[in-house]
Structure 1
Amino acid sequence: MQSLEAELTAARDLSIADLADAIESIGFECTRCGDCCTSHGDEAHTATVFPDEIRDLETAERGVDAAVRSGKTNLVPPPEDREWRDVARPMPYGLTEGADGLEGETFEWALQTDGCGDCAFYTEIDGTGACTAHDDRPLICRTYPFSVGLDGTSQPMGEAVDSVSLPGHEGDDEAGSVHAHECEGLGRDISRADAEALAATLKERAIRELEEAIGVRDSYEPVTPNAGEVVVHDSEGAKRLDGTPLEGD
């Protein structure tokens, strides 16, 4: 496995044209079914969100009054009342269930969910899925159902249902490929302009994931959480559930 720095260089060198070719060959059109924003069985919606994306969502306007029109106004307060915990929760991986709930250390933030396990920003209007912060949605949401296959990039969306190797990486899907994950919109026609726009965002996400991973690695200092306490390590250091730094305790 290459170093994260080498993978970051590879991500920065990705060709948007090659990524767009792969997206075009797979095909995609969003049907607004909502499957990528909702829970599945007992598994809550889990989507990685970076610290700066959380801050953007803290102040994001609720687009086209979607929350009001659907009646979903209680879970995501208006920007003037919104806090870190309204937007993000600790990634559950690595945490254990203690007497007072989840506890331990984890290394990412996930979008906050509602009581049904759906993304707190998801709603439905007349049976059609909608995001109440669509213009400020995180990179992982902007690029679903695609991901880039590089050693240092994460694959938080489950197993790939299709993969296309990028030029120079034929037969090596983990070192240079575009993965497609389960979505009813796959296989549909996509314009070249839309494929290139999606490819550019997909490249941005691959770079950001690696930059975040390097930041987490470089800022990580082990801590021993108290009983019932969760500590989240991100690229900015260790944080409490409300997003404030742990340092100084």
Structure 2
Amino acid sequence: MRSLEAELESARELAVDDLADAIESIGFECTRCGACCTGHGEDEHTATVFPDEVRRLEDADTAAVGSDGGEDDAVPDAADREWRDVARPMPYGLEEGDDGLEGETFEWALQTDDCGDCAFYAEDEAGVGACTAHEDRPLICRTYPFSVGLAGTSQPMGEAVDSVSLPARGGADGEGGDEVLRAHECEGLGRDISREDAEELARALKGRAVRELEEAIGVRDEYEPADPEPGEVVVYDSEGPKRIDGTPLEE
């Protein structure tokens, strides 16, 4: 298995044109169905968000999309918004204790509302979905339903339903050539996409692949077991261990 550093070098060498070609060959147009922003049954919406993205969303302006014509009330106004309004600990590895979730986990997920949907998701009177913080949405949201197949990069919303091999380019270690563009379940797949939109999506997808690997390396390098107390949650990200409110554990 190649190191995360080698995978990061491969991600940095991804060609936007090759990614755009692969995206065009599959095709995609967002139908605003909301499936990638909402929970499904007992499964809450779970999308990775990086620490810098959380901070950006804390200050983001949110659009009025709700059927009442007012501000979406799943998150407070930016002036009153805190870390926990934006992000929650990734649930994997946590257990239900006497006082709620406890234990250790890695990374953050976008916060959800009482229905298990992304807290920044809203629908208009016609039932058309929209992100209330669209201009500041995280990379995983900008690039869905696509991901790049590299060790250390995430695969959102289950297994891929389609994939396209990318041209072999190698890497700093002389290896590589196994990179693929993966497409995940979405009703917008197979639709025509303009070259301009494909290239914009490809640039975001490359940026996400690089960012995910940088984060994975940072988590690895900053990890120090914290041995949380009963009823306590510790989240490890690239900046070190944190409490659920985003403050460093040592403070």
Deviation at 1:72, TM superposition (A): 5.9
- 1:107–1:174 Cα change, 3 Å: farther
Whichever residue aligns with residue 243 of structure 2, its letter is R
**Is 1:190–2:189 an aligned residue pair?**
no
Deviation at 1:108, TM superposition (A): 0.8
Deviation at 1:41, TM superposition (A): 0.8
- TM-score between the two structures when normalised by the length of structure 1: 0.95
**Is 1:55–2:20 an aligned residue pair?**
no
Match of 1:76 in 2: 75
Match of 1:203 in 2: 206
1:178 aligned counterpart, secondary structure: strand
Match of 2:6 in 1: 6
Q: Is the 8 A contact 1:151 1:174 kept in 2?
A: no
Match of 2:242 in 1: 239
Q: Greater share of helix residues, 1 or 2?
A: 1
* In structure 2, C-alpha distance between the alignment counterparts of 1:194 and 1:76, rounded to whole Å: 30
* In structure 1, C-alpha distance between the alignment counterparts of 2:187 and 2:123, rounded to whole Å: 17
* In structure 2, C-alpha distance between the alignment counterparts of 1:175 and 1:84, rounded to whole Å: 38
Deviations 1:97-144 (Å, cap 9, x if unpaired)?
A: 111111100011000000110000000012100111000000000000
> Which runs of 5 or more residues in structure 1 are unaligned?
none
1:158 aligned counterpart, secondary structure: coil
* In structure 2, C-alpha distance between the alignment counterparts of 1:227 and 1:146, rounded to whole Å: 39
- 1:167–1:209 Cα change, 3 Å: same
* In structure 1, C-alpha distance between the alignment counterparts of 2:211 and 2:200, rounded to whole Å: 17
**Is 1:163–2:163 an aligned residue pair?**
yes
Q: Is the 8 A contact 2:168 2:178 kept in 1?
A: no
Q: How does 1:1-249 map to 2 (within 5 A)?
A: 1-63=1-63, 65-67=64-66, 69=68, 73-126=72-125, 127-168=127-168, 175-248=178-251
> Which runs of 5 or more residues in structure 2 are unaligned?
170-175
* In structure 1, C-alpha distance between the alignment counterparts of 2:101 and 2:230, rounded to whole Å: 9
* In structure 2, C-alpha distance between the alignment counterparts of 1:115 and 1:156, rounded to whole Å: 22
1:61 aligned counterpart, secondary structure: coil
* In structure 2, C-alpha distance between the alignment counterparts of 1:12 and 1:24, rounded to whole Å: 21
1:116 aligned counterpart, secondary structure: coil
Q: Is the 8 A contact 1:122 1:129 kept in 2?
A: yes
Whichever residue aligns with residue 82 of structure 1, its letter is R
Whichever residue aligns with residue 13 of structure 1, its letter is E
- 1:70–1:178 Cα change, 3 Å: farther
1:37 aligned counterpart, secondary structure: coil
Whichever residue aligns with residue 40 of structure 1, its letter is H
1:163 aligned counterpart, secondary structure: strand
Q: How many residues align?
A: 244
1:189 aligned counterpart, secondary structure: coil
* In structure 1, C-alpha distance between the alignment counterparts of 2:203 and 2:154, rounded to whole Å: 18
Whichever residue aligns with residue 232 of structure 2, its letter is E
Whichever residue aligns with residue 201 of structure 1, its letter is A
